[in-house]
């Protein structure tokens, strides 16, 4: 049985227990609390939060002394009590196709592993995928995952805790640091920026790294508020996609609280099979899941739900499965993403043959759906997160045909 959502440590608060906690990644409310804690007068707090916000999220500064419109006295006080430290980038790997993978170590937090009396900071991977018209950052919402989907490597990891909203936001901060991509900085000349006026190196975010975002909805929703804030990091909500394995009751709430785009990890069209692939299906079967999708706020042809379907050889990849998929999704504004399975050591599954994937894609395409096949980006650096999007030219052209 998968562990219950309530079993895991909820690391919601920023690490204010640390000697000098970092303010990077905080929400406006957390910044206000941090200011009140160092006796900034009530009447000044809103204005000071606005200033800090701009320096931290628009300019990406790492030093309080750069905050020129903040008095020297307050700058010193801030530096005495807080930092602008980022989590540590342990390694950076760059794939031959430009995909970058960072191993990020968070500061130690409650719920982390203790080794030899020392709390070890959680490590998560974050993947950046540049394309000609966008740059996508794949972020994690939890360390590990309680859900044990049988084809997913993350589900086999023992330790699980929620990431705080601060830790979720810090993943974008790290990416912007690495890519020189803060709006308040001169655009980098290192060639990462996709072409197009006003397009940032990171223009899109997908919650397709580790974890089930809807089991950490409060922190994901706070983080989304920071990511999409127009005075700071300024990501468009239409370019932020949250992927869920199907926590049906929380799906409408995700939409009403965040306005994010929704992706559903469907992977099977029959309950008996989906029970095996995504055990959460036993709790929320396909019919309930699709009903929750129909109730997703703001759904329209311009704001479709993405249905992810991992292609598993001889398991879910028959023409009958493809036709049933089309039938099931009737009436839901949908896109379908076929994901070639990424093998990992010890897995019982294999990826479907390319001809079978094409056959499946043909059926879905004929029914009027864009059906881009996402082949793994950054395979040489094992950057195998769910958002792996580089279709063959033929399939890319098809997808565009339907989207335009």
Cβ distance to ligand SF4 smaller for residue 40 or 248: 248
Task: Report the nearest approach of ligand SAH to the CB of residue 312 (Å).
Answer: 9
- Concerning whether 145 is annotated as a catalytic residue, the answer is no
Task: Provide the token pair at 298.
Answer: 């703001």
Task: Report the nearest approach of ligand SF4 to the CB of residue 3 (Å).
Answer: 11
C-alpha Rg value of the chain to the nearest Å: 22
Cβ distance to ligand SF4 smaller for residue 26 or 147: 147
178 scored as a contact of ligand SAH (CB under 6 A) = no
Which DSSP helix (H) or strand (E) runs through 45? Answer: helix 42-53
C-alpha 180 chain-centroid distance: 20
- Concerning whether 125 is annotated as a catalytic residue, the answer is yes
The answer to whether 220 touches 252, Cβ cutoff 8 Å, is: no
Q: Contacting ligand SAH (CB under 6 A), which of 208, 240, 260, 322?
A: 208
55 scored as a contact of ligand SAH (CB under 6 A) = no
Options 26, 138, 293, 385, the catalytic residue: 385
Pairing relationship of beta strands 240-244 and 204-207 according to DSSP bridges: parallel
317 scored as a contact of ligand SAH (CB under 6 A) = no
Strand locations in 222-304, DSSP E? 240-244, 261-265
Instruction: In whole angstroms, give the CA distance from residue 83 to residue 61.
Output: 11
Please state the φ and ψ torsions of residue 65, each to the nearest 5 degrees.
-65, -15
CB under 6 A: which stretch of 80-88, 238-246, 249-257, 389-397 binds ligand SAH?
238-246
Cβ distance to ligand SF4 smaller for residue 21 or 155: 155
Cβ distance to ligand SAH smaller for residue 75 or 153: 153
Question: Could you tell me which of 401, 380, 301, 400 has the C-alpha nearest to residue 95?
Answer: 380
CB under 6 A: which stretch of 36-44, 243-251, 296-304, 355-363 binds ligand SAH?
243-251
Q: Any bridge partners for residue 249, and if so which? A: none
Instruction: Give me the residue label for tokens 């979720």.
Output: 168
Residues marked active site are found at 125, 385
Q: What does the binding site for ligand SAH look like in residue numbers (CB under 6 A)?
A: 145, 151-153, 208, 211-212, 243-245, 265, 308, 310, 339, 341-342, 386
């Amino acid at each position: 049985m998968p562990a219950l959502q309530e079993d895991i440590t909820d690391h919601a608060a920023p690490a204010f227990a640390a000697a000098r906690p970092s303010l990077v990644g905080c929400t406006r409310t957390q910044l206000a609390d941090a200011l009140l804690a160092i006796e900034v007068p009530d009447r000044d707090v809103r204005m000071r939060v606005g200033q800090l916000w701009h320096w931290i999220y628009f300019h990406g500064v790492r030093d309080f002394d750069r905050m020129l419109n903040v008095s020297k006295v307050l700058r010193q006080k801030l530096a005495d009590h807080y930092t602008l430290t980022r989590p540590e980038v342990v390694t950076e790997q760059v794939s031959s196709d430009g995909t970058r993978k960072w191993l990020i170590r968070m500061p130690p937090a409650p719920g982390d592993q203790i080794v030899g009396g020392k709390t070890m900071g959680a490590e998560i991977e974050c993947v950046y995928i540049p394309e000609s018209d966008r740059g996508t950052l794949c972020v994690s919402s939890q360390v590990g995952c309680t859900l044990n989907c049988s084809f997913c490597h993350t589900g086999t990891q023992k330790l699980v805790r929620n990431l705080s909203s601060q830790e979720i936001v810090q993943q974008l901060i790290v990416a912007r640091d690495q890519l020189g991509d803060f709006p308040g900085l001169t655009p980098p000349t290192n060639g990462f920026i996709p072409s197009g006026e006003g397009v940032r190196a990171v223009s899109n975010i997908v919650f397709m790294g580790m974890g089930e975002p809807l089991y950490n909805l409060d922190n994901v929703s706070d983080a989304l508020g920071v990511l999409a804030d127009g005075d700071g990091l300024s990501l468009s909500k239409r370019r932020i996609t949250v992927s869920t394995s199907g926590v049906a009751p929380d799906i409408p709430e995700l939409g009403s609280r965040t306005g994010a785009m929704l992706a559903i990890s469907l992977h099977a069209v029959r309950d008996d099979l989906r029970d095996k692939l995504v055990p959460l299906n036993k709790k929320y079967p396909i019919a309930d899941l699709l009903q929750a999708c129909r109730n997703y706020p703001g759904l329209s042809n311009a704001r479709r739900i993405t249905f992810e379907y991992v292609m598993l050889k001889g398991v879910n990849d028959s023409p009958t499965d493809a036709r049933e998929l089309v039938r099931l999704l009737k009436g839901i504004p949908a896109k379908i993403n076929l994901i070639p399975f990424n093998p990992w050591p010890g897995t019982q599954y294999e990826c479907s043959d390319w001809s079978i994937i094409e056959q499946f894609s043909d059926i879905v395409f004929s029914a009027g759906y864009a059906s881009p096949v996402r082949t793994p980006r950054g395979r040489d650096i094992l950057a195998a997160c769910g958002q792996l999007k580089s279709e063959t030219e033929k399939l890319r052209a098809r997808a565009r045909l339907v989207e335009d």
